[in-house]
Structure 1
Protein backbone atom coordinates (compact mmCIF):
# COMPACT_ATOMS: atom_id res chain seq x y z
CA UNK A 1 0.00 0.00 0.00
CA UNK A 2 2.77 2.42 0.92
CA UNK A 3 4.57 1.70 -2.34
CA UNK A 4 1.38 2.31 -4.33
CA UNK A 5 0.71 5.56 -2.45
CA UNK A 6 4.27 6.67 -3.05
CA UNK A 7 3.97 5.92 -6.74
CA UNK A 8 0.73 7.93 -7.01
CA UNK A 9 2.29 10.85 -5.10
CA UNK A 10 5.34 10.79 -7.34
CA UNK A 11 3.17 10.68 -10.47
CA UNK A 12 1.08 13.62 -9.19
CA UNK A 13 4.22 15.67 -8.47
CA UNK A 14 5.59 14.83 -11.91
CA UNK A 15 2.34 15.96 -13.54
CA UNK A 16 2.34 19.16 -11.47
CA UNK A 17 5.88 20.00 -12.54
CA UNK A 18 5.03 19.13 -16.13
CA UNK A 19 2.08 21.52 -16.07
CA UNK A 20 4.18 24.24 -14.44
CA UNK A 21 6.82 23.89 -17.14
CA UNK A 22 4.17 24.04 -19.84
CA UNK A 23 2.43 27.01 -18.22
CA UNK A 24 5.71 28.93 -18.07
CA UNK A 25 6.93 27.55 -21.44
CA UNK A 26 10.19 26.31 -20.00
CA UNK A 27 12.08 26.01 -23.32
CA UNK A 28 11.24 29.57 -24.32
CA UNK A 29 12.06 30.81 -20.84
CA UNK A 30 15.45 29.09 -20.85
CA UNK A 31 16.30 30.58 -24.26
CA UNK A 32 15.36 34.03 -22.94
CA UNK A 33 17.55 33.52 -19.86
CA UNK A 34 20.40 32.47 -22.18
CA UNK A 35 20.04 35.74 -24.13
CA UNK A 36 20.02 37.76 -20.91
CA UNK A 37 23.17 36.08 -19.61
CA UNK A 38 24.90 36.63 -22.96
CA UNK A 39 24.03 40.33 -22.71
CA UNK A 40 25.35 40.37 -19.14
CA UNK A 41 28.71 38.93 -20.19
CA UNK A 42 28.98 41.53 -22.96
CA UNK A 43 28.32 44.41 -20.59
CA UNK A 44 30.11 43.25 -17.44
CA UNK A 45 33.45 44.73 -16.47
CA UNK A 46 33.73 41.95 -13.90
CA UNK A 47 31.63 38.79 -13.84
CA UNK A 48 29.67 38.33 -10.62
CA UNK A 49 28.03 34.92 -10.32
CA UNK A 50 25.48 36.07 -7.73
CA UNK A 51 24.30 38.66 -10.26
CA UNK A 52 24.08 35.97 -12.95
CA UNK A 53 21.94 33.81 -10.65
CA UNK A 54 19.64 36.74 -9.87
CA UNK A 55 19.37 37.55 -13.56
CA UNK A 56 18.64 33.94 -14.50
CA UNK A 57 16.06 33.46 -11.76
CA UNK A 58 14.42 36.84 -12.28
CA UNK A 59 14.44 36.43 -16.04
CA UNK A 60 12.80 33.01 -15.85
CA UNK A 61 10.14 34.33 -13.48
CA UNK A 62 9.33 37.27 -15.76
CA UNK A 63 9.05 35.12 -18.88
CA UNK A 64 7.13 32.47 -16.99
CA UNK A 65 4.70 35.08 -15.67
CA UNK A 66 4.17 36.53 -19.15
CA UNK A 67 3.43 33.09 -20.59
CA UNK A 68 1.07 32.24 -17.72
CA UNK A 69 -0.90 35.49 -18.18
CA UNK A 70 -0.99 34.78 -21.92
CA UNK A 71 -2.45 31.31 -21.40
CA UNK A 72 -5.01 32.62 -18.90
CA UNK A 73 -6.27 35.16 -21.44
CA UNK A 74 -6.18 32.73 -24.36
CA UNK A 75 -7.58 29.65 -22.59
CA UNK A 76 -10.69 29.39 -24.78
CA UNK A 77 -8.77 30.10 -27.99
CA UNK A 78 -6.09 27.56 -27.08
CA UNK A 79 -8.82 24.93 -26.80
CA UNK A 80 -9.60 25.43 -30.51
CA UNK A 81 -6.08 24.75 -31.78
CA UNK A 82 -4.41 21.38 -32.17
CA UNK A 83 -1.02 22.44 -30.82
CA UNK A 84 -2.41 24.15 -27.71
CA UNK A 85 -5.57 22.23 -26.75
CA UNK A 86 -3.65 20.00 -24.33
CA UNK A 87 -2.10 22.88 -22.41
CA UNK A 88 -2.89 22.82 -18.66
CA UNK A 89 -5.73 25.39 -18.76
CA UNK A 90 -7.79 24.28 -21.79
CA UNK A 91 -7.26 20.64 -20.77
CA UNK A 92 -8.65 21.44 -17.31
CA UNK A 93 -5.59 20.34 -15.32
CA UNK A 94 -5.02 23.86 -13.98
CA UNK A 95 -7.73 26.40 -13.15
CA UNK A 96 -7.57 30.05 -14.19
CA UNK A 97 -7.47 31.04 -10.51
CA UNK A 98 -4.45 28.83 -9.76
CA UNK A 99 -2.69 29.97 -12.94
CA UNK A 100 -3.27 33.60 -11.95
CA UNK A 101 -1.78 32.98 -8.50
CA UNK A 102 1.29 31.42 -10.14
CA UNK A 103 1.60 34.34 -12.57
CA UNK A 104 1.36 36.95 -9.81
CA UNK A 105 3.88 35.15 -7.59
CA UNK A 106 6.31 34.83 -10.53
CA UNK A 107 5.85 38.53 -11.33
CA UNK A 108 6.69 39.56 -7.78
CA UNK A 109 9.66 37.20 -7.54
CA UNK A 110 10.94 38.35 -10.93
CA UNK A 111 10.68 42.07 -10.24
CA UNK A 112 12.27 41.74 -6.79
CA UNK A 113 15.13 39.58 -8.09
CA UNK A 114 15.89 42.01 -10.92
CA UNK A 115 15.57 44.98 -8.57
CA UNK A 116 18.39 43.54 -6.46
CA UNK A 117 20.54 43.93 -9.59
CA UNK A 118 19.38 47.50 -10.20
CA UNK A 119 16.07 49.38 -10.61
CA UNK A 120 16.46 49.82 -14.40
CA UNK A 121 16.65 46.07 -14.93
CA UNK A 122 13.49 45.56 -12.88
CA UNK A 123 11.75 48.34 -14.81
CA UNK A 124 12.56 46.82 -18.20
CA UNK A 125 11.44 43.42 -16.95
CA UNK A 126 8.13 44.86 -15.78
CA UNK A 127 7.65 46.71 -19.08
CA UNK A 128 8.24 43.43 -20.90
CA UNK A 129 5.45 41.68 -18.96
CA UNK A 130 3.07 44.61 -19.49
CA UNK A 131 3.64 44.83 -23.24
CA UNK A 132 3.42 41.06 -23.77
CA UNK A 133 0.28 40.64 -21.69
CA UNK A 134 -1.66 43.86 -22.22
CA UNK A 135 -0.83 44.68 -25.84
CA UNK A 136 0.65 41.75 -27.76
CA UNK A 137 -1.74 39.07 -26.48
CA UNK A 138 -5.04 40.87 -27.23
CA UNK A 139 -3.74 42.20 -30.56
CA UNK A 140 -3.01 38.72 -31.92
CA UNK A 141 -6.65 38.29 -32.93
CA UNK A 142 -6.97 41.88 -34.20
CA UNK A 143 -4.06 42.62 -36.50
CA UNK A 144 -0.81 41.17 -37.90
CA UNK A 145 0.89 44.21 -36.32
CA UNK A 146 0.76 42.22 -33.09
CA UNK A 147 4.05 40.61 -34.18
CA UNK A 148 5.64 44.09 -34.28
CA UNK A 149 4.34 44.86 -30.78
CA UNK A 150 5.38 41.43 -29.49
CA UNK A 151 8.87 41.91 -30.90
CA UNK A 152 9.46 44.72 -28.39
CA UNK A 153 9.23 42.62 -25.18
CA UNK A 154 10.81 39.77 -27.12
CA UNK A 155 13.89 41.91 -27.83
CA UNK A 156 14.36 43.09 -24.24
CA UNK A 157 16.24 40.05 -22.80
CA UNK A 158 19.52 40.48 -24.76
CA UNK A 159 19.51 44.15 -23.80
CA UNK A 160 18.41 43.39 -20.24
CA UNK A 161 21.63 41.51 -19.50
CA UNK A 162 23.74 44.53 -20.41
CA UNK A 163 21.60 46.82 -18.23
CA UNK A 164 21.84 44.32 -15.38
CA UNK A 165 25.64 44.39 -15.62
CA UNK A 166 26.08 48.15 -16.05
CA UNK A 167 22.97 49.86 -14.65
CA UNK A 168 23.07 51.92 -17.82
CA UNK A 169 21.08 52.18 -21.04
CA UNK A 170 22.83 53.56 -24.12
CA UNK A 171 23.90 52.68 -27.65
CA UNK A 172 25.27 49.28 -26.60
CA UNK A 173 22.10 47.74 -25.10
CA UNK A 174 20.11 49.59 -27.76
CA UNK A 175 22.06 47.73 -30.44
CA UNK A 176 21.51 44.39 -28.70
CA UNK A 177 17.82 45.21 -28.57
CA UNK A 178 17.69 45.98 -32.31
CA UNK A 179 19.50 42.76 -33.25
CA UNK A 180 16.97 40.61 -31.43
CA UNK A 181 14.08 42.85 -32.50
CA UNK A 182 14.69 42.37 -36.23
CA UNK A 183 15.52 38.68 -35.75
CA UNK A 184 12.05 37.98 -34.40
CA UNK A 185 10.23 38.82 -37.64
CA UNK A 186 11.71 36.06 -39.83
CA UNK A 187 11.60 33.69 -36.86
CA UNK A 188 7.95 34.21 -35.93
CA UNK A 189 6.70 34.62 -39.48
CA UNK A 190 8.33 31.30 -40.37
CA UNK A 191 6.60 29.78 -37.34
CA UNK A 192 3.36 31.51 -38.29
CA UNK A 193 3.67 30.14 -41.82
CA UNK A 194 4.01 26.58 -40.51
CA UNK A 195 1.09 26.93 -38.11
CA UNK A 196 -1.11 29.23 -40.18
CA UNK A 197 -4.04 26.80 -40.50
CA UNK A 198 -4.00 26.08 -36.76
CA UNK A 199 -3.63 29.77 -35.85
CA UNK A 200 -6.68 30.60 -37.97
CA UNK A 201 -8.77 28.19 -35.86
CA UNK A 202 -8.05 30.44 -32.89
CA UNK A 203 -8.54 33.62 -34.90
CA UNK A 204 -4.88 34.64 -34.70
CA UNK A 205 -3.51 36.91 -37.41
CA UNK A 206 0.23 36.29 -37.42
CA UNK A 207 1.38 36.71 -41.04
CA UNK A 208 1.98 40.26 -42.31
CA UNK A 209 -0.23 39.89 -45.39
CA UNK A 210 -2.58 37.44 -43.72
CA UNK A 211 -1.57 34.77 -46.22
CA UNK A 212 1.25 32.36 -47.01
CA UNK A 213 2.22 34.29 -50.13
CA UNK A 214 5.17 36.01 -51.82
CA UNK A 215 4.39 39.23 -49.91
CA UNK A 216 4.98 37.54 -46.58
CA UNK A 217 8.07 35.73 -47.89
CA UNK A 218 9.49 39.00 -49.26
CA UNK A 219 9.09 40.73 -45.90
CA UNK A 220 10.87 37.83 -44.23
CA UNK A 221 13.81 38.37 -46.60
CA UNK A 222 13.93 42.13 -45.94
CA UNK A 223 13.86 41.78 -42.16
CA UNK A 224 16.54 39.09 -42.32
CA UNK A 225 18.78 41.49 -44.25
CA UNK A 226 18.24 44.21 -41.64
CA UNK A 227 19.06 41.69 -38.91
CA UNK A 228 22.36 40.83 -40.58
CA UNK A 229 23.30 44.50 -41.05
CA UNK A 230 22.65 45.41 -37.42
CA UNK A 231 24.36 42.25 -36.13
CA UNK A 232 27.69 43.25 -37.70
CA UNK A 233 27.46 47.00 -36.93
CA UNK A 234 29.62 46.66 -33.76
CA UNK A 235 32.56 45.80 -36.04
CA UNK A 236 32.51 49.34 -37.47
CA UNK A 237 33.00 51.23 -34.21
CA UNK A 238 29.54 52.82 -34.06
CA UNK A 239 28.33 51.11 -30.92
CA UNK A 240 30.47 52.28 -28.02
CA UNK A 241 31.83 49.51 -25.81
CA UNK A 242 29.97 46.88 -27.80
CA UNK A 243 32.67 45.79 -30.22
CA UNK A 244 33.20 42.97 -32.68
CA UNK A 245 36.40 41.80 -34.34
CA UNK A 246 36.61 41.44 -38.11
CA UNK A 247 36.78 37.63 -37.86
CA UNK A 248 33.74 37.49 -35.56
CA UNK A 249 31.85 39.85 -37.86
CA UNK A 250 32.60 37.63 -40.86
CA UNK A 251 31.40 34.54 -38.96
CA UNK A 252 28.17 36.26 -37.94
CA UNK A 253 27.69 37.60 -41.48
CA UNK A 254 28.08 34.12 -42.96
CA UNK A 255 25.63 32.67 -40.44
CA UNK A 256 23.19 35.39 -41.42
CA UNK A 257 23.69 34.57 -45.10
CA UNK A 258 22.80 30.94 -44.38
CA UNK A 259 19.58 32.10 -42.75
CA UNK A 260 18.94 34.43 -45.69
CA UNK A 261 19.33 31.51 -48.11
CA UNK A 262 16.59 29.66 -46.22
CA UNK A 263 14.44 32.80 -46.46
CA UNK A 264 14.93 32.87 -50.24
CA UNK A 265 14.06 29.16 -50.38
CA UNK A 266 10.78 29.95 -48.65
CA UNK A 267 10.14 32.73 -51.17
CA UNK A 268 10.81 30.26 -53.98
CA UNK A 269 8.85 27.25 -52.71
CA UNK A 270 6.30 28.79 -50.31
CA UNK A 271 5.77 25.54 -48.41
CA UNK A 272 5.76 24.46 -44.77
CA UNK A 273 8.97 22.43 -45.12
CA UNK A 274 10.90 25.54 -46.18
CA UNK A 275 9.29 27.54 -43.37
CA UNK A 276 10.36 24.93 -40.82
CA UNK A 277 13.94 24.97 -42.11
CA UNK A 278 14.01 28.76 -41.83
CA UNK A 279 12.59 28.64 -38.32
CA UNK A 280 15.25 26.14 -37.20
CA UNK A 281 17.96 28.20 -38.93
CA UNK A 282 16.78 31.29 -37.06
CA UNK A 283 16.99 29.51 -33.70
CA UNK A 284 20.53 28.38 -34.53
CA UNK A 285 21.46 31.88 -35.68
CA UNK A 286 20.37 33.77 -32.56
CA UNK A 287 22.07 31.26 -30.24
CA UNK A 288 25.35 31.02 -32.17
CA UNK A 289 25.46 34.77 -32.79
CA UNK A 290 25.26 35.48 -29.07
CA UNK A 291 27.94 32.88 -28.36
CA UNK A 292 30.23 34.44 -30.98
CA UNK A 293 29.73 37.90 -29.46
CA UNK A 294 30.63 36.64 -25.98
CA UNK A 295 33.64 34.56 -27.09
CA UNK A 296 34.92 37.47 -29.20
CA UNK A 297 34.86 39.77 -26.17
CA UNK A 298 36.92 37.46 -23.98
CA UNK A 299 39.46 36.24 -26.53
Structure 2
Protein backbone atom coordinates (compact mmCIF):
# COMPACT_ATOMS: atom_id res chain seq x y z
CA UNK A 1 0.00 0.00 0.00
CA UNK A 2 2.86 2.34 0.93
CA UNK A 3 4.39 1.99 -2.52
CA UNK A 4 1.21 2.83 -4.39
CA UNK A 5 0.76 5.90 -2.18
CA UNK A 6 4.23 7.26 -2.99
CA UNK A 7 3.76 6.55 -6.70
CA UNK A 8 0.53 8.55 -6.49
CA UNK A 9 2.12 11.56 -4.83
CA UNK A 10 5.15 11.91 -7.11
CA UNK A 11 3.18 12.45 -10.34
CA UNK A 12 0.87 14.87 -8.55
CA UNK A 13 3.89 16.90 -7.35
CA UNK A 14 5.09 17.11 -10.95
CA UNK A 15 1.63 17.94 -12.29
CA UNK A 16 1.13 20.58 -9.57
CA UNK A 17 4.45 22.13 -10.51
CA UNK A 18 3.35 22.16 -14.16
CA UNK A 19 0.06 23.72 -13.15
CA UNK A 20 1.41 26.43 -10.83
CA UNK A 21 3.77 27.57 -13.60
CA UNK A 22 1.17 26.86 -16.35
CA UNK A 23 3.65 24.87 -18.40
CA UNK A 24 1.57 24.76 -21.60
CA UNK A 25 1.14 28.54 -21.67
CA UNK A 26 4.78 29.09 -20.71
CA UNK A 27 5.98 26.92 -23.60
CA UNK A 28 3.83 28.86 -26.09
CA UNK A 29 5.40 32.08 -24.78
CA UNK A 30 8.89 30.59 -25.13
CA UNK A 31 7.97 29.64 -28.71
CA UNK A 32 7.08 33.30 -29.43
CA UNK A 33 10.33 34.62 -27.99
CA UNK A 34 12.40 32.07 -29.93
CA UNK A 35 10.58 33.09 -33.13
CA UNK A 36 11.43 36.74 -32.37
CA UNK A 37 15.06 35.78 -31.76
CA UNK A 38 15.32 33.90 -35.08
CA UNK A 39 13.83 36.90 -36.89
CA UNK A 40 16.32 39.32 -35.37
CA UNK A 41 19.54 37.33 -35.45
CA UNK A 42 22.07 37.19 -38.28
CA UNK A 43 23.74 33.97 -37.21
CA UNK A 44 21.94 31.74 -34.74
CA UNK A 45 23.77 31.29 -31.44
CA UNK A 46 22.40 28.18 -29.79
CA UNK A 47 23.68 29.18 -26.35
CA UNK A 48 21.58 32.39 -26.50
CA UNK A 49 18.64 30.39 -27.86
CA UNK A 50 18.75 28.04 -24.85
CA UNK A 51 19.23 30.92 -22.38
CA UNK A 52 16.26 32.74 -23.90
CA UNK A 53 14.07 29.63 -23.69
CA UNK A 54 15.03 29.04 -20.04
CA UNK A 55 14.79 32.71 -19.04
CA UNK A 56 11.45 33.07 -20.82
CA UNK A 57 10.05 29.96 -19.16
CA UNK A 58 11.12 31.14 -15.68
CA UNK A 59 9.57 34.58 -16.24
CA UNK A 60 6.20 33.22 -17.34
CA UNK A 61 6.25 30.52 -14.68
CA UNK A 62 6.91 33.17 -12.02
CA UNK A 63 4.08 35.41 -13.28
CA UNK A 64 1.64 32.49 -13.26
CA UNK A 65 2.65 31.34 -9.78
CA UNK A 66 2.28 34.87 -8.33
CA UNK A 67 -1.06 35.14 -10.13
CA UNK A 68 -2.33 31.94 -8.51
CA UNK A 69 -1.19 33.08 -5.06
CA UNK A 70 -3.05 36.41 -5.41
CA UNK A 71 -6.19 34.77 -6.83
CA UNK A 72 -6.32 31.67 -4.64
CA UNK A 73 -9.67 32.60 -3.01
CA UNK A 74 -11.26 33.53 -6.34
CA UNK A 75 -9.85 30.42 -8.05
CA UNK A 76 -11.67 28.32 -5.44
CA UNK A 77 -15.00 29.76 -6.68
CA UNK A 78 -14.56 28.81 -10.36
CA UNK A 79 -14.95 25.34 -11.85
CA UNK A 80 -12.09 26.04 -14.23
CA UNK A 81 -9.60 26.79 -11.46
CA UNK A 82 -10.86 25.25 -8.21
CA UNK A 83 -8.61 22.22 -8.68
CA UNK A 84 -5.43 24.30 -9.00
CA UNK A 85 -2.75 23.33 -6.45
CA UNK A 86 -3.34 26.19 -3.95
CA UNK A 87 -7.18 26.34 -3.77
CA UNK A 88 -7.32 22.52 -3.76
CA UNK A 89 -4.96 22.53 -0.77
CA UNK A 90 -2.21 20.46 -2.43
CA UNK A 91 0.33 23.29 -2.27
CA UNK A 92 0.89 25.93 0.38
CA UNK A 93 1.12 29.62 -0.44
CA UNK A 94 4.67 29.57 0.98
CA UNK A 95 5.79 26.84 -1.45
CA UNK A 96 4.19 28.67 -4.37
CA UNK A 97 5.83 31.93 -3.28
CA UNK A 98 9.26 30.27 -3.07
CA UNK A 99 8.79 28.82 -6.58
CA UNK A 100 7.67 32.22 -7.92
CA UNK A 101 10.55 34.11 -6.30
CA UNK A 102 13.22 31.62 -7.37
CA UNK A 103 11.79 31.65 -10.90
CA UNK A 104 11.81 35.48 -10.98
CA UNK A 105 15.45 35.65 -9.91
CA UNK A 106 16.56 32.88 -12.27
CA UNK A 107 14.61 34.42 -15.14
CA UNK A 108 16.05 37.91 -14.71
CA UNK A 109 19.62 36.64 -14.15
CA UNK A 110 19.49 34.38 -17.23
CA UNK A 111 17.99 37.13 -19.44
CA UNK A 112 20.58 39.57 -18.07
CA UNK A 113 23.36 37.29 -19.32
CA UNK A 114 21.92 37.77 -22.84
CA UNK A 115 21.75 41.57 -22.49
CA UNK A 116 20.41 44.22 -20.10
CA UNK A 117 17.44 45.27 -22.24
CA UNK A 118 16.13 41.70 -22.43
CA UNK A 119 16.24 41.44 -18.63
CA UNK A 120 14.53 44.82 -18.28
CA UNK A 121 11.62 43.88 -20.56
CA UNK A 122 11.31 40.53 -18.80
CA UNK A 123 11.12 42.27 -15.41
CA UNK A 124 8.53 44.77 -16.74
CA UNK A 125 6.35 41.90 -17.97
CA UNK A 126 6.38 40.16 -14.55
CA UNK A 127 5.59 43.44 -12.78
CA UNK A 128 2.69 44.38 -15.10
CA UNK A 129 1.18 40.90 -15.06
CA UNK A 130 1.40 40.44 -11.30
CA UNK A 131 0.97 43.92 -9.87
CA UNK A 132 -1.33 45.60 -12.40
CA UNK A 133 -3.18 43.07 -14.58
CA UNK A 134 -4.04 40.53 -11.85
CA UNK A 135 -5.58 43.05 -9.36
CA UNK A 136 -7.48 44.84 -12.16
CA UNK A 137 -9.18 41.65 -13.42
CA UNK A 138 -11.94 41.88 -10.83
CA UNK A 139 -12.31 45.66 -11.23
CA UNK A 140 -12.56 46.49 -14.92
CA UNK A 141 -12.53 44.99 -18.43
CA UNK A 142 -9.57 47.36 -19.07
CA UNK A 143 -7.49 44.69 -17.32
CA UNK A 144 -7.30 42.92 -20.70
CA UNK A 145 -5.62 46.02 -22.15
CA UNK A 146 -3.00 45.95 -19.39
CA UNK A 147 -2.61 42.16 -19.64
CA UNK A 148 -2.01 42.46 -23.38
CA UNK A 149 1.25 44.36 -22.70
CA UNK A 150 3.14 41.57 -20.88
CA UNK A 151 1.40 39.13 -23.24
CA UNK A 152 2.92 40.92 -26.25
CA UNK A 153 6.44 41.27 -24.85
CA UNK A 154 7.81 37.74 -25.67
CA UNK A 155 7.82 38.05 -29.48
CA UNK A 156 9.56 41.42 -29.17
CA UNK A 157 11.85 40.14 -26.37
CA UNK A 158 13.35 37.57 -28.75
CA UNK A 159 14.33 40.31 -31.20
CA UNK A 160 15.87 42.43 -28.41
CA UNK A 161 17.79 39.34 -27.20
CA UNK A 162 19.17 38.88 -30.73
CA UNK A 163 20.08 42.52 -31.46
CA UNK A 164 20.29 44.31 -28.09
CA UNK A 165 18.30 47.01 -29.81
CA UNK A 166 14.74 48.27 -29.49
CA UNK A 167 13.43 49.90 -32.65
CA UNK A 168 10.72 49.68 -35.29
CA UNK A 169 11.21 45.91 -35.79
CA UNK A 170 10.53 44.68 -32.24
CA UNK A 171 7.91 47.44 -32.00
CA UNK A 172 6.06 45.89 -34.95
CA UNK A 173 6.33 42.39 -33.43
CA UNK A 174 5.00 43.82 -30.15
CA UNK A 175 2.06 45.55 -31.91
CA UNK A 176 1.16 42.36 -33.74
CA UNK A 177 1.00 40.23 -30.60
CA UNK A 178 -0.59 43.10 -28.63
CA UNK A 179 -3.61 43.46 -30.96
CA UNK A 180 -3.90 39.67 -31.21
CA UNK A 181 -4.37 39.35 -27.43
CA UNK A 182 -7.82 40.99 -27.56
CA UNK A 183 -9.72 38.50 -29.75
CA UNK A 184 -7.81 35.74 -27.95
CA UNK A 185 -8.72 36.94 -24.43
CA UNK A 186 -12.26 37.96 -25.29
CA UNK A 187 -13.11 34.67 -26.96
CA UNK A 188 -11.97 32.89 -23.77
CA UNK A 189 -13.89 35.45 -21.66
CA UNK A 190 -16.97 34.73 -23.77
CA UNK A 191 -17.14 30.94 -23.49
CA UNK A 192 -16.06 30.98 -19.83
CA UNK A 193 -18.39 33.90 -19.04
CA UNK A 194 -20.44 32.15 -16.34
CA UNK A 195 -17.38 30.67 -14.68
CA UNK A 196 -15.53 34.00 -14.69
CA UNK A 197 -18.63 35.63 -13.20
CA UNK A 198 -18.41 33.27 -10.21
CA UNK A 199 -14.92 34.59 -9.51
CA UNK A 200 -15.99 38.19 -10.13
CA UNK A 201 -13.86 38.62 -13.25
CA UNK A 202 -14.94 41.07 -15.94
CA UNK A 203 -13.07 40.18 -19.10
CA UNK A 204 -15.42 41.27 -21.89
CA UNK A 205 -15.20 44.91 -23.09
CA UNK A 206 -18.89 45.63 -22.51
CA UNK A 207 -19.06 43.24 -19.56
CA UNK A 208 -21.56 41.08 -21.46
CA UNK A 209 -21.77 38.47 -24.23
CA UNK A 210 -23.30 40.99 -26.61
CA UNK A 211 -22.95 42.50 -30.08
CA UNK A 212 -20.74 45.28 -28.67
CA UNK A 213 -18.16 42.77 -27.49
CA UNK A 214 -18.38 40.88 -30.81
CA UNK A 215 -17.86 44.09 -32.85
CA UNK A 216 -14.77 45.05 -30.82
CA UNK A 217 -13.42 41.53 -31.29
CA UNK A 218 -13.81 41.89 -35.08
CA UNK A 219 -12.05 45.28 -35.00
CA UNK A 220 -9.04 43.91 -33.15
CA UNK A 221 -8.82 40.91 -35.51
CA UNK A 222 -8.66 43.40 -38.41
CA UNK A 223 -5.98 45.49 -36.65
CA UNK A 224 -3.97 42.29 -36.08
CA UNK A 225 -4.31 41.38 -39.76
CA UNK A 226 -3.15 44.86 -40.87
CA UNK A 227 -0.10 44.89 -38.58
CA UNK A 228 0.87 41.36 -39.64
CA UNK A 229 1.26 42.34 -43.32
CA UNK A 230 2.93 45.76 -42.74
CA UNK A 231 6.52 44.36 -43.07
CA UNK A 232 5.85 43.56 -46.76
CA UNK A 233 5.81 47.31 -47.53
CA UNK A 234 9.42 47.68 -46.47
CA UNK A 235 9.20 50.38 -43.82
CA UNK A 236 9.78 48.20 -40.77
CA UNK A 237 13.56 48.33 -40.98
CA UNK A 238 15.20 44.94 -41.20
CA UNK A 239 11.93 43.14 -40.44
CA UNK A 240 10.80 42.16 -43.93
CA UNK A 241 8.20 39.89 -45.46
CA UNK A 242 8.05 38.53 -49.00
CA UNK A 243 4.86 38.99 -51.04
CA UNK A 244 4.10 35.25 -50.86
CA UNK A 245 4.54 35.24 -47.07
CA UNK A 246 2.40 38.39 -46.74
CA UNK A 247 -0.40 36.70 -48.73
CA UNK A 248 -0.15 33.62 -46.48
CA UNK A 249 -0.17 35.75 -43.34
CA UNK A 250 -3.09 37.79 -44.74
CA UNK A 251 -5.10 34.63 -45.45
CA UNK A 252 -4.45 33.34 -41.92
CA UNK A 253 -5.63 36.71 -40.59
CA UNK A 254 -8.78 36.53 -42.73
CA UNK A 255 -9.44 33.11 -41.19
CA UNK A 256 -9.43 34.67 -37.73
CA UNK A 257 -11.61 37.59 -38.93
CA UNK A 258 -14.08 35.03 -40.36
CA UNK A 259 -14.46 33.35 -36.94
CA UNK A 260 -14.89 36.76 -35.28
CA UNK A 261 -17.72 37.59 -37.73
CA UNK A 262 -19.22 34.18 -37.03
CA UNK A 263 -19.24 34.96 -33.31
CA UNK A 264 -20.99 38.27 -34.09
CA UNK A 265 -23.59 36.43 -36.17
CA UNK A 266 -24.46 33.46 -33.97
CA UNK A 267 -23.26 34.67 -30.51
CA UNK A 268 -22.72 31.16 -29.08
CA UNK A 269 -20.11 29.85 -26.69
CA UNK A 270 -19.18 27.27 -29.31
CA UNK A 271 -18.42 30.05 -31.81
CA UNK A 272 -16.28 31.79 -29.16
CA UNK A 273 -14.36 28.56 -28.54
CA UNK A 274 -13.75 28.20 -32.29
CA UNK A 275 -12.45 31.77 -32.46
CA UNK A 276 -10.11 31.03 -29.54
CA UNK A 277 -8.72 27.95 -31.33
CA UNK A 278 -8.40 29.98 -34.55
CA UNK A 279 -6.49 32.70 -32.67
CA UNK A 280 -4.02 30.19 -31.18
CA UNK A 281 -3.46 28.54 -34.58
CA UNK A 282 -3.06 31.98 -36.17
CA UNK A 283 -0.32 33.30 -33.85
CA UNK A 284 1.65 30.04 -34.04
CA UNK A 285 1.39 29.75 -37.81
CA UNK A 286 2.28 33.36 -38.61
CA UNK A 287 5.35 33.16 -36.39
CA UNK A 288 6.42 30.05 -38.31
CA UNK A 289 5.72 31.79 -41.67
CA UNK A 290 7.72 34.88 -40.62
CA UNK A 291 10.73 32.77 -39.57
CA UNK A 292 10.68 30.46 -42.63
CA UNK A 293 10.26 33.47 -44.92
CA UNK A 294 13.34 35.11 -43.41
CA UNK A 295 15.53 32.06 -43.89
CA UNK A 296 14.45 31.20 -47.45
CA UNK A 297 14.25 34.76 -48.79
Residue matched to 2:159? 162
Matched, 1:95 2:92: yes
The number of residues matched between the two structures is 296
- Aligned mates of 1:32, 1:47 — CA distance in 2: 19
- Aligned mates of 1:243, 1:171 — CA distance in 2: 11
Matched, 1:61 2:62: no
**Could you state the TM-score of these two structures normalised by the residue count of structure 2?**
0.98
Show CA shifts across 1:108-155 (max 9, x none). 010011011001100100000000000000000000000000000000
Matched, 1:238 2:235: yes
Which of the residues 163, 176, 189 maps onto 1:192?
189
RMSD: 0.8
SS in 2 for 1:84: coil
Residue matched to 1:291? 288
From the superposition, tell whether residues 208 and 17 of structure 1 become closer, same or farther in structure 2 (CA, over 3 Å): same
Matched, 1:124 2:121: yes
- Aligned mates of 1:179, 1:28 — CA distance in 2: 18
**Could you state the TM-score of these two structures normalised by the residue count of structure 1?**
0.98
SS in 2 for 1:240: coil
Residue matched to 1:229? 226
Runs of 4+ in 1 over 3 A off after TM superposition: 4-10
- Aligned mates of 2:103, 2:124 — CA distance in 1: 15
Structure 1: gaps spanning 5 or more residues: none
Q: Following TM superposition, by how much is the alpha carbon of 1:6 offset from its aligned partner in structure 2, in angstroms?
A: 4.8
SS in 2 for 1:209: coil
- Aligned mates of 1:183, 1:207 — CA distance in 2: 15
Residue matched to 1:21? 18
Q: Following TM superposition, by how much is the alpha carbon of 1:283 offset from its aligned partner in structure 2, in angstroms?
A: 0.3
Show CA shifts across 1:179-206 (max 9, x none). 0000000011000000011001000010
Residue matched to 1:11? 8
Matched, 1:261 2:258: yes
Matched, 1:113 2:107: no
Residue matched to 2:148? 151
